[in-house]
Structure 1
Amino acid sequence: MTAKFRAGKDPSAVLENVETLTGQRGDGRNRAVTYGDLTTLGLANLRVGAGGKTSLSPGGGKGDGGGGGIQKPVRPTNFKATGGFAYVLLEWDMPNYRGRSLTEIYRSPEDNLANAVLIASSAAGVYGDPVDPDWKGYYWIRHVNSLGEPGPFNDSKGTYAQTHPDPAAIIEVITEQLNASPLIANLTDKLETNTKNIGTVDSNVKTLSESVKNQNSAMAKRVTDVETSSQSNMSAVRELSQSVSDRFSSSAERVEKVEVATRENNAAVQTNAKAITEMDKNGSASYRAMWSTKAQAGDVKAGIGIVAGRDANGNTISQVAVAANQFFIFDPNNPNDKTTYAIPFAVVDGKVVIEELIAKDAVIKILAAQTIIADSVRAGIEIVSPYIKTARIESGNFTVDQNGNMTATNANIEGRVVATSGSFSGSVTATDGSFRGTVHATDGEFRGSVYATDGEFRGSIYATDGVFRGTVYATDGRFEGTVYANKIEGDVMQVYQMPPIGHNQTRSFRYNGGQDQIMVISSAAISMTLTAKSTTVLNGYLDLLINGRVVSTLSGVVGGGATGPGVTAGEKSVSYVKSFSAEIPAGSSNVLIQVRTRGDANCSAEGILFMVSRKNSSAFS
């Protein structure tokens, strides 16, 4: 029976074994199988653990249409964007597919997915995006699995969001606008009586007095007109006083109207005062008193009215109405340093603006606030936030106190568990876990991956799979499954693949080292190519340097009458297959390893695969 692999630590043996494992030598039946091969064939699942390290777990893999494998991410559902003041709250349904990892969030100021940029990723179903007040834009999301494969976006159209303007800035702008109102200047003027001589071109005063009385009613009416005019301009003051009384009703009305007009514009102010009392045919009495003042300049109108009374059904009527697109209150007795006035309350363009509010009870359908300070907050359905900071959490049998102590009747943890210390009096069953401190367990079974920074096991350990990144102390042990380690000292080969190198170039990498033994670094077959456009012989060299010192050199010739093994005189391009071998002293760490090309011929190399192993392994005698 022919041996599959060749024993020995010399470069030729190492090279042969590596070429066999990579499938470059032989018929490929002894080629090593990789994680990717098993996953693609549907024989195992690829799991991404702590630090991005991959491991295998039993299952159907990507090729298995059934259970266990990592699936393609699904399309996100119920994606919503809610604008606050300096944040946009993004929410979506948590996806349900195997291998779920995170959700990518994209943003653009316009509804164009092609121009959207990735701004963040979140493993939760909520994210808060910090933006400026009064910002507008669009969002998209897509899920990504643990293999890094993205799924479809939630939609080709963006989800629109807009933040609220800063209330302080709004109040400042409105205060400036309202302080420019002519009403403030008019209402803050002192009351004075001025007597002036006014010349008029044409003026007249008309007075009509009328009194009527009969068997059932009486009426008194007086109309006074004061008019002035000059060419096309006119001004007038009209006053109507009227009193009517009959069998079933009586009313008194007074109307004052001040009006001016030019060729193109006119303005008027009218004040009505009216009182009515009447009785219907059933004998029910109703009464009403009303006062109103209306002003109009061109097509712009404003007014205020008061009505009080009771209708025939006995319903109370008590109303005050203001007709204006801006309504505000100010204190004329307290101007500020700029001789302007604070506007504590205003209605502008249909919105109520209040600088400060004290309310005993308020019912608000939608509340957008920058800061909420309250003794007690209750939410009947849910509270959604990307970040919640509290001293205590209580939910049935689940509590977390201010010291971070958690109490739960039952817990189902699907991801990693990181514990500084712990005590398990019963059985522990874990799919995955990371314990950085001390764990005391009477009994335990780990079916998934176990990550330990440090540990001491005095009894028996049964593990299907395990990764130890720290120190493990064991008198003796047997692993029937797979052992994964970031670093193993001893008779284990470590491999590094260097990219191709061109003429007069240097490539470098570092070997951590630190072993107490002498280590051997060797390379697999390197393809070194020399090219030349010369009739003379040219030389090319490939150097191996350790910590800046040349420890091995490969050479070749090309061109002119160059001869040698595999070289024909006059050739313009020659390829060599050669390999390096050198020793790294015991105790060396952070070793700088370099490969460089040089010579008067154009020298390049590829297929540079380095292997580091222990010298004089105890496995051979």
Structure 2
Amino acid sequence: MNNRRKTLPPIDPKIDPKLRAVLEALKEIQETGEGVRGDPMDRKLTIRDLVDAGLARLRPGSMTEFGPVNDDPIDNDPPGSTLIPPRPTGFNAIGSFGYIVLSWDIPGDLYLNHAFTNIYRSETDNFANAKVIGRDTGMMYTDHIREVEEEGVGFYYWITFTSTEDREGPPNNTSGTYAEVIPDLGFLLDRLSGEIDESVLAKSLNGRIDKIEVLETGIKTETEIRESADLAMARRIDNVSAAANGNASAIQTEQTVRADADAALAQQITTVQSQLGGNIASVEQSMTTNIERLNGELVKLGAEYTLKLDVNGYVSGFGAYNDGKTSDFAIAADRFWVAPPNSTGKRKPFIIQNNKVYIDTAMIRNASIQEGQLGPISFGKITDRNGSPVTTVAGKLKGELIEADNLRVAEAATFYGDVYSNNYWSGVSGWAIRQNGSAEFNNVTVRGTLYAEDIEGDVNDVAQVNWQGDKRVSSYKSLIHQQSIYISYSNKQGKCPYFMLTLRCFEERSDSTIGVTVQIEQNGRVLAEQYTAAQFGGNGGVAIAGGADNRIKGTVVFKVFADAYFANTMHVYQVSGLIGALA
């Protein structure tokens, strides 16, 4: 067992400063090489380290020479750990839009030779049926499940650890951790768009309006009636048209009704159309009801209304369709807006244009937003280069580098390396907190109790004074305020108490004088006393400072007195400043 000393004794603070700087540097170099301070990667390698690690062996009869013995090769691979990795902890699963995010506690906190984490998934809560869907070396995994068409689809998950010796440990739990995926909105929009394109209403709205053949100016009505044992049909076409110089306009209304043993149809189509040269503008209003039966079963049932506008083949409009189970209302337009009457010159509250929806003000009780932006802050987009989110369950953030002007940690933070300020220079500026427990600061203020086995250098005690009230000052010393402070040890010696105070006063006369006395007492004995006086009219202030030359320890009381030339005409309403002790 190696019990050799790795640290040097503290350097005497009374030594010459120039020599002390050299000794401090040598001490730092020595202890850094031993690995007791600084970066552990800077520790020096010894022959003992090589032998203990199985990387080398000493030659027989020698305590300094090492290498192969009798030309046998050295086993450069140290013996691997035969321990089974522990059970993972802190496992969580949460569903999001098109994926489920899994996270767990840092494996390195549980064991040292971690290689990767295995992720298992099953549709049932049975680990025997689970399959490995991925592996990850970190503490988070994203299971992408995009093609989910409805809510309520979920899976059970487990994880296990595998060591660098390829040993797999137990699952995190016998029961799986269940999470449901939220359907990916992009996937749902693509699927719904495909269904809409194949719907009856979409085909009706997308179809062009037939051209009306106008040959002459006039008003014409055509009728047709057919009736038999199995069929009844009636049709009427009313046409009002005008034609001149190859241009034409027409209004046509076509009404059709038909009924037989298995079908009933009623339809009315009104078309308004203008033609000028090669340009045609049309408006068509269509109302249709249709019911059909085949072999005694209902195969078609629907009511449809459309209003279409067709200008040179560019068709827009709106329509509604109802089949008794599902109703559709559709608008085909480049821009759609809603506004109250007489809103000219005012902002429209709702606009759809260029595939974007603009809403001036909205009140939403419940919303699911896959991606978005609130002012300059975007959310739902914090992903790595592969598209996987770097945010984990419970709001944890994972990244190789995080830069922030201000960083607030609500509960606790764990660091897995040394922490430095950006201006750290050993012995000169900045600060450092190292993994071996050592730290370096230039200045430290401790508002509480400091415990230490040994303190080198001087330590000062200080307390703030901030009394407020209203005390009337008599002609003799009136006690205004008193406050105590505990003076700690400094290099096994006491300290010198001091004070720096200001009294704020106002007087009822304009020519009064106030005297201020500060006493420093310990155990009823006055150690020092300081007096000053000031004359003013109205409001004013008196500053006083002083201290004791002798070094003391323990509790000390600072008492502030005041007296006035004219009794009961002076008021003190504040005492502020500092009291303390200098090493």
Q: TM-score, normalised by structure 2?
A: 0.35
Q: TM-score, normalised by structure 1?
A: 0.33
